[in-house]
Amino acid sequence: MPGVSGGAAGGRRRSSSSLRGRAKRARRSVEVPGAPAPPPAPHLFSDPAEIEALRGNLLAWYDRCKRDLPWRTLVRGVWVSEIMLQQTQVATVIDYYNRWMQKWPTLQALAQASLEEVNELWAGLGYYSRGKRLQEAARKVVSELAGQMPRTAEDLQKLLPGVGRYTAGAIASISYGQATGVVDGNVIRVLCRLRCIGADSSSPPVIDRLWDMANTLVDRSRPGDFNQALMELGATVCVPKAPLCGECPVKQHCRARRRVSGEGAVPDVEDCGKCVGGCPLCPPATEPWDSSLGVTNFPRKAAKKQPRVVKTATCVLERRGCHGAPEYLIVQRPNSGLLAGLWEFPSLLLAQGLQEEKQQEALADHLQAWMGWPVAAGDLQLIGEVVHIFSHIHQTYVVYSLPLDGDVTLDPASSPSRWVTEEEFHASAVSTAMKKVLGDTWAFPSFPLGSSPQPLSPSTPSSGHRLLRDGTFHVWDHRRAVLR
């Protein structure tokens, strides 16, 4: 009879119309062109008892072993720290965080700060747009939200500049107790090992699955502690290389470890590949399990893109200050793009393949247009090259020096600029790359002030010198001065 349900074991005969309807619905669910295959159960957390045990074990470990970090309890501190911790290690962030909170103890104080002040404190932390967006968000909270932080992950992500899905989840769970998961690099590594997820962990489909998993696992009564525990586990135990599996509080739930130890069946490419369209979470067949890697087979990442190669000519303009100490001219970068709003030595992006002579001429023309008086290419003394690696850019600074006898009158239409002593330079919002250019890492022979610096060898006629604060000259061979 139509509509009668029941399995074949029940001896009931389904009508042809009922069978046709079921077949049609099955085709709709399986044969959707381009639809991703659902992950097999072995990759998921589906057993409520296991989930409850994992939560309890992880939280008990966290209560015993968590690191004492200064932002654990303060609502605004969680926000500031999460922004700073994006792509930056905890050990680096702690000092920056403490100085930030001391300088701007309230959102109102941060909202009233200038971008220059923010960049000065952020200098050396990298990814400078994070600090800029943090201040923009503070201004928005103060001016548009009556000083009240949004309290849900959805509102945090929607209303605050620089707050993405992860940061919103972290703030909402830690500060406001919302039962929402988080997925960062540490969580990705832990979850991929717990469930043998070997597909590209940076791909959107895999990331979506990991978010689903994080939201399933998060403890409803202690969501903030659970999320911090999961991140803490990845940071201190389930580390990228040489993980401390013996100390792991959830090792009995880790299928990567079980695969290594042979304690039980775990999903394999051959097992999961039987599902329609192949398993979306297993490693591709071209990248099989490598027994020498153990649990570090997971996670797998796509091959990293090669950084873009960029070459920039930079000139250290130098004069004697009123007290005899050297001063350097720095200019401010535009308020958008790479290193927005930071200060640097006058610089010019060079065309690819430009010969040394042409580089020098291009920089001289740039300085002449900028300063408004003639600059001869021959007056520029080549110092060497400073290599600095950004996340996506391999930057080479070709460094020149130009000593000046007196002041220069700058074109008012040019970028903001100022003369600074070496001490003022280091206190300014300058990048690590510019500090390398000034010579923090240089260690060359010295000559007394007033003597004639000599090349290191007859084969280095373009060697130069730099006047130091202590009244000596540093001499370098520009052919050897490739600094990293």
pLDDT of 87? 84
82 counts as catalytic: yes
For 421-434, give one letter per residue: b (16+ CB within 10 A) or e.
ebeebeebbbbebb
pLDDT of 277? 53
pLDDT tens per residue, range 160-171:
999 999 999 999
- The residue whose two tokens read 């006898």 is 405
- CA 243 to chain CA mean position, Å: 22
Greater model confidence, 384 or 30: 384
Q: Amino acid letter at 156? A: L
Percent of the chain with pLDDT over 70: 77
Percent of the chain with pLDDT over 90: 50
The angle subtended at Cα 351 by Cα 308 and Cα 475, nearest 5°, is 90
Q: What is the pTM of this model?
A: 0.73
pLDDT of 468? 35
Calpha distance 6→1 (Å, rounded): 12
Q: Which one of the listed residues 50, 52, 82, 270 is annotated catalytic? A: 82
pLDDT tens per residue, range 255-293:
999 988 876 555 554 456 545 457 888 888 778 788 899
Mean pLDDT of 322-347: 86
Calpha distance 114→284 (Å, rounded): 50
pLDDT of 463? 34
Question: What superfamily does domain 308-483 belong to in CATH?
Answer: Nucleoside Triphosphate Pyrophosphohydrolase (3.90.79.10)
Greater model confidence, 27 or 172: 172
Which DSSP string corresponds to 400-461? Answer: EEEE-SS--PPPTTS--EEEEEHHHHHHSSB-HHHHHHHTTT----EEETTS----SSTT-T
Mean pLDDT of 316-338: 85
Per-residue confidence band for 413, with pLDDT thresholds at 50, 70 and 90: low
On whether the CB atoms of residues 323 and 311 are closer than 8 A, the answer is no
pLDDT of 324? 75
Phi, psi at residue 348, to the nearest 5°? -140, 125
Q: Amino acid letter at 182? A: V
Per-residue confidence band for 417, with pLDDT thresholds at 50, 70 and 90: confident
Burial of 352 from C-beta contacts in 10 A (0-12 / 13-18 / 19+): exposed
Question: What superfamily does domain 48-297 belong to in CATH?
Answer: Hypothetical protein; domain 2 (1.10.340.30)
Give the contacts of 15 (CB within 8 A, at least 6 positions apart). Answer: 1, 2, 4
For 107-126, give one letter per residue: b (16+ CB within 10 A) or e.
beebbebebebbbbbbbebb
pLDDT tens per residue, range 451-475:
333 332 323 333 333 333 333 333 3
pLDDT of 197? 92
What does the domain layout of the chain look like in residue ranges?
Answer: 48-297, 308-483
Question: With 60 as the cut, is the pLDDT of residue 434 above it?
Answer: yes
Question: With 50 as the cut, is the pLDDT of residue 300 above it?
Answer: yes
